[in-house]
Amino acid sequence: MDQIVIFDTTLRDGEQSPGCSMNLKEKIEVARCLERMKVDIIEAGFAISSPGDFESVKTVAETVKDCTVASLARATQKDIDTAWEAVKEAVSPRIHLFLATSPLHMEYKLKKTPEQVLEIAAAMTAHAKQYCSDIEFSAEDATRSDWDFLVKVVDAVIRAGATTVNIPDTVGYTTPTEMRDLIAYLREKVPDSDKAIFSVHCHNDLGLATANSLAGVLGGARQIECTINGLGERAGNTALEEVIMAMHTRPVLYPFTTRIDTTQISRASRTVYNIIGQTAPLNKPIVGRNAFAHESGIHQHGVLANKQTYEIMTPEALGIQTNNIVLGKHSGKHAVEDRLRELGYSLSQEELLACFAEFKDLCDKKKNITDADLEAIADHCIRSDDVADENGYKLNWFSMHTSNFTTATCTINLEKDGEKFEDVCLGDGPIDAAFGAIDNIVKPAPHTFDIYNIHSVSQGKDTLGDVTVKLISEGRTYTGKGLSTDVMEASIVAYIMAVNKLCAATRKKEA
């Protein structure tokens, strides 16, 4: 069976879309998930786009051992040189350069003739090849390009050393039959087409990204570019979980293998949603909460008789645990550790202790601790060093008063470097009052709220509330997370975490 190379661009195409920006730690966390899932290539960013992007591409390149790490670059010497600087320490580095080939892009964006574009594509591929043997060339807006011009470009870049040629559907315009025909056409007409791997990179503007990627593979592509949860510009990119599970579920139609460990899909999806402060739409394919829920009587009856009546894949294949062992206050550290291991977490001793402490706290508030609770605790502990790291404020206590006939008030007591701070504030509601009191103490730089989102981890009124706060200041996003059965406390903790990050960035700028 042919192997399909999985190229994940969550950290580049995904991260560059509005509301999806991640800080360095979050990017490393996603990179680790991708490595565990065994994607072949991680596109870690666009190194020249900012010093922060350069640093994160470089750090991912130095951290990840089991995947190729790529940086995107425009087809210019400076971009390519910077991309190489960022990825050169990777065990397996790749430079990914791109240049538009459609008449629209060449005339209005690049202001270049097709002849010039052809020349630049070949020259810049050769320039990148001086540094690195693994070179990917992308013909941006390929699906709106002239097919015979594409043949010339692909031929030229393969001669110049490209080892992967990507045919992006940049604006999500193509259809499955057209994509399949285009890849087959290029493979047939380009003289040395067997010297490079053909790749597809589909956007989802018409909801066809997964179908187009699979069709591209049937046309002869052997690399799929995709993102976790389908993040990406506008309507997003091909969702990794969808293409993988389509091939997994229909092996006769798609007789291909990948390296992907599908049991990591659920966790990777949750991690990415957690980081960007969103939750999966209930009906999202593969990873939505309803993907395996059966509500109607007819369906329930069928599933009870035989799961396959209404389930084409198993939750276990995605790493979703269905033997929901319930832990409680009598469960010891080993039981918690074992369960976390079964859920796919390998935590450091320090993280484990933090998890166990949060678990015990939760046992005082909630009788049965489910897998969903435990996963939320583990995700929270893995990321909680963010707070200490920014050496910021911590919550000591808060006291609120709210009713439907008086103005809400909140008193907040925070601590920083052993010193205690207290303030009180009135507000339009308890959250407004609490955040106002925090602002009075911390005095963060001016900011707006991008997201304030409360998500219940499980069902039931004693559920954990998982709160995400995203602030925007001077175009940058600062994310805070809080987890508690008390949503007010979770909100306060999340807001403190976000303003701590904002203050750390302000301090760095002023230094």
Q: Point out which residues bind ligand KIV (CB under 6 A).
A: 13, 72, 98, 138, 140, 166, 168, 170, 201, 203
Q: Within 431-450, which residues bind Zn ion (CB under 5 A)?
A: none
Nearer to Zn ion, 13 or 35 (CB): 13
- 378, 343 contact by CB (below 8 A): yes
User: 139 or 280, CB closer to ligand KIV?
Assistant: 139
Binding site partner of 98, from ligand KIV, Zn ion, none, Cβ cut-off 5-8 A by kind: ligand KIV
Residue 54's binding partner, choosing from Zn ion, ligand KIV, none, with beta-carbon cut-off 5 to 8 A by kind?
none
Q: Environment class of residue 62 by beta-carbon count within 10 Å: exposed (0-12), middle (13-18) or buried (19+)? A: middle
DSSP element (H, E) containing 452: strand 448-456
- Residue 370 touches which of Zn ion, ligand KIV, none (CB < 5 to 8 A by kind)? none
Q: How far is CA 238 from the centre of its chain?
A: 13
Q: Which residues are 139's β-sheet partners? A: 99
The least distance separating ligand KIV from the CB of residue 86, rounded to whole angstroms, comes to 16
Q: How far apart are the C-alpha atoms of 142 and 149, rounded to whole Å?
A: 10
Options 13-21, 103-111, 250-258, 303-311: segment touching Zn ion (CB under 5 A): 13-21
**Closest CB to ligand KIV among residues 27, 201:** 201
Q: Which residues contact 164 (CB under 8 A, 6 or more apart)?
A: 5, 94, 134, 135, 136, 137, 196, 197, 198, 199, 223
Chosen from Zn ion, ligand KIV, none, partner binding at 138 (C-beta under 5 to 8 Å by type): ligand KIV
Give whichever of 168 and 319 is closer to ligand KIV, judged by the CB atom.
168
Distances from the Cα of 229 to the Cα of 177, 265, 314, 343, angstroms: 24, 10, 18, 20
In angstroms, what is the minimal distance from the CB of 50 to Zn ion?
A: 18
Closest CA to 437 of 352, 359, 502, 495: 495
Stretch of 5-13, 136-144, 146-154, 288-296 contacting Zn ion, by CB under 5 A:
5-13
State the Cα angle at 85 between 80 and 90, rounded to 5°: 110
- Find the part of the chain contacting Zn ion (CB under 5 A) among 9-17, 383-391, 433-441, 486-494: 9-17
The runs of H, that is alpha helices, within 231-332 are 240-249, 265-276, 297-305
Q: Half-sphere exposure of residue 351, counting CA atoms within 13 Å on the CB side?
A: 19
Task: Name the residue whose CB lies closest to Zn ion.
Answer: 13
The least CB distance from residue 205 to ligand KIV, in Å, is 11
For residue 197, list its beta bridge partners.
164
Instruction: Name which of 210 and 468 has its Cβ closer to Zn ion.
Output: 210
Which of 98/359 has CB closer to ligand KIV? 98
Q: Which is nearer to ligand KIV, 75 or 494 (CB)?
A: 75
**373 lines the binding site for Zn ion (CB under 5 A):** no
Q: Which does 248 bind (CB under 5 to 8 A by kind): Zn ion, ligand KIV, none?
A: none
Distance CA 218, CA 443 (A): 57
Q: What gap in Å lies between CA 506 and CA 510, rounded to an integer?
A: 6
Given ligand KIV, Zn ion, none, residue 45, with its beta carbon under 5 to 8 Å by kind, binds none
Stretch that binds Zn ion, among 10-18, 136-144, 171-179, 391-399 (CB under 5 A): 10-18
Closest CB to ligand KIV among residues 199, 321: 199
- Least Å distance, CB 474 to ligand KIV, is 26
| Spatial CB neighbours of 73, under 8 Å, sequence gap ≥ 6 | 46, 47, 48, 79, 80, 82, 83, 95, 96, 97, 98, 128
Specify the stretch interacting with Zn ion by CB under 5 A; choose among 12-20, 341-349, 384-392, 472-480.
12-20
- How does strand 476-484 pair with strand 465-473? antiparallel
Strand partners of residue 137? 97, 165
- Answer for which of 10, 12, 13, 165 binds Zn ion (CB under 5 A) is 13
- The distance of closest approach from Cβ of residue 201 to Zn ion in the complex, given in angstroms and rounded to an integer, is 6
Among 7-15, 66-74, 117-125, 483-491, which window interacts with Zn ion (CB under 5 A)? Answer: 7-15
Which of these ranges, 6-14, 103-111, 368-376, 463-471, lies near Zn ion under the rule CB under 5 A? 6-14
What is the closest distance, in whole angstroms, from the C-beta atom of residue 173 to Zn ion in the complex? 12
Closer to Zn ion by CB, 202 or 471: give it: 202
Residue 118 or 167 with smaller CB distance to ligand KIV = 167
User: What letter would DSSP give residue 107?
Assistant: I
Minimum distance, C-beta of residue 213 to Zn ion, in the bound complex (Å) = 12
Cβ(175)–Cβ(209) below 8 Å = no
92 half-sphere exposure, CB direction, 13 A CA radius: 11
140 binds, among Zn ion, ligand KIV, none (CB under 5 to 8 A by kind): ligand KIV
Residue 168 or 277 having the CB closest to ligand KIV: 168
**Burial class of residue 360 in the structure, from the number of CB atoms within 10 Å of its CB (0-12 exposed, 13-18 middle, 19+ buried):** middle
* Residues making contact with Zn ion (CB under 5 A): 13
